[in-house]
Chain A
Amino acid sequence: MIADLSADEEKILNDVKIRLAKYGKERGQLIPILQMIQDKLAYLPHITMEMVAQHLDIPPSEVFGVATFYNQFRFNPPGRNPVKVCLGTACHVRGGDIILENFERKLEIKEGETTSDKEFSIERVACVGCCALAPVTLIGETVHGNMAPSKVEGLVMRVQIEKEMKEREKQKNESGQ
Chain B
Amino acid sequence: MLTLTVDGKEIQAKKGTTLLKACLDNDIYIPNLCYIDGIEETAASCRLCFVEIEGEEKPVTSCTVPVKASLKVKTDTPAVRRLQKTALRLLLSVHHVDCKNCPANKKCALQDMAKFLKVGLKPGHLQHCLKEPEIDTSHPCLDYYTNRCVLCGKCIQVCLTHNGQPEITFARRGFNTVVSFFGTAKNEKDSCDECIRCVDICPVGALVLKSSP
Q: Which residue of A lies closest to B176 (CB)?
A: A68
Q: Closest approach, in angstroms, between the C-beta of B98 and any C-beta of chain A?
A: 24
Residue A82 interfacial (CB < 8 Å): no
Tell me whether A62 is interfacial, beta carbon within 8 Å.
yes
The A7-23 residues at the B interface (CB cut-off 8 A) are: none
**Residues of chain B within 8 A of A59, CB atoms compared:** 165-167, 169
Are A61 and B167 in contact, with the CB atoms below 8 A?
Answer: yes
Tier of interface size on chain B: 10 to 19
Does B2 lie at the interface of the complex (its beta carbon under 8 Å from any beta carbon of A)?
Answer: no
**CB closest chain-B residue, reference A57:** B165
A153 CB to nearest chain B CB (Å): 23
How many chain A residues sit at the interface, stated as a range, is 10 to 19
What distance in Å separates the Cβ of B175 from its nearest Cβ neighbour in chain A? Answer: 13
A68 with B183, Cβ < 8 A, contacts A59-B165, A59-B166 known: no
Residues of chain A lying within 8 A (CB to CB) of residue B170 = 65
Contacts of A68 in B (CB 8 A): 171-173, 180
Q: Which residue of A lies closest to B159 (CB)?
A: A61
Residue with the greatest number of chain A CB neighbours at <10 A, chosen from B168, B171, B180: B171
Q: Mark A28-53, 1 if CB is under 8 A from B, else 0.
A: 00000000000000000010010000
Check if B165 sits within 8 Å of A65, measured CB to CB. no
Minimum C-beta distance from A172 to chain B (A): 44
Residues 60 to 118 of chain A near chain B (Cβ within 8 Å):
60-62, 64-65, 68-69, 110
Contact A65 B169 (CB under 8 A): yes
Complex CA distance for A61 and B132, rounded to whole angstroms: 21
Q: Does A132 contact B (CB under 8 A)?
A: no
- Contacts A1-B183, A46-B183, A68-B180 given; indicate if A61 touches B173 (C-beta within 8 A): no
Is A61 a contact partner of B169 (Cβ separation < 8 A)? yes
Say yes or no for B182: interface residue by CB 8 A criterion. Answer: yes
| A1 to B169 alpha-carbon distance, docked (Å) | 16
Residues of A within 8 A of B180 (CB): 61, 64-65, 68
How far, in angstroms, from A87 to B166 measured CA to CA in the complex?
35
Q: Which residues of A are found within 8 Å of B182, using beta-carbon distances?
A: 49, 60-61, 64
How many Å lie between the Cα of A68 and that of B138 in the bound state?
Answer: 17
* A165–B171 CA distance with the chains assembled, in angstroms: 42
Shortest beta-carbon distance from B195 to chain A in Å: 15
Most buried by B among A49, A58, A62, A110: A62
**What would be 15 A-B contacts, judged by CB atoms less than 8 Å apart?**
A1-B138, A46-B183, A59-B167, A60-B182, A61-B166, A61-B168, A61-B182, A64-B169, A64-B180, A64-B182, A68-B171, A68-B173, A68-B180, A69-B173, A110-B132
**4 other A-B residue contacts (CB within 8 Å) besides A64-B182, A69-B171:** A59-B167, A61-B180, A65-B169, A65-B171
Instruction: List the 10 closest pairs (A to B, CB-CB), nearest first.
Output: A1-B183, A61-B169, A59-B165, A65-B169, A68-B171, A64-B182, A61-B182, A68-B172, A69-B173, A65-B170
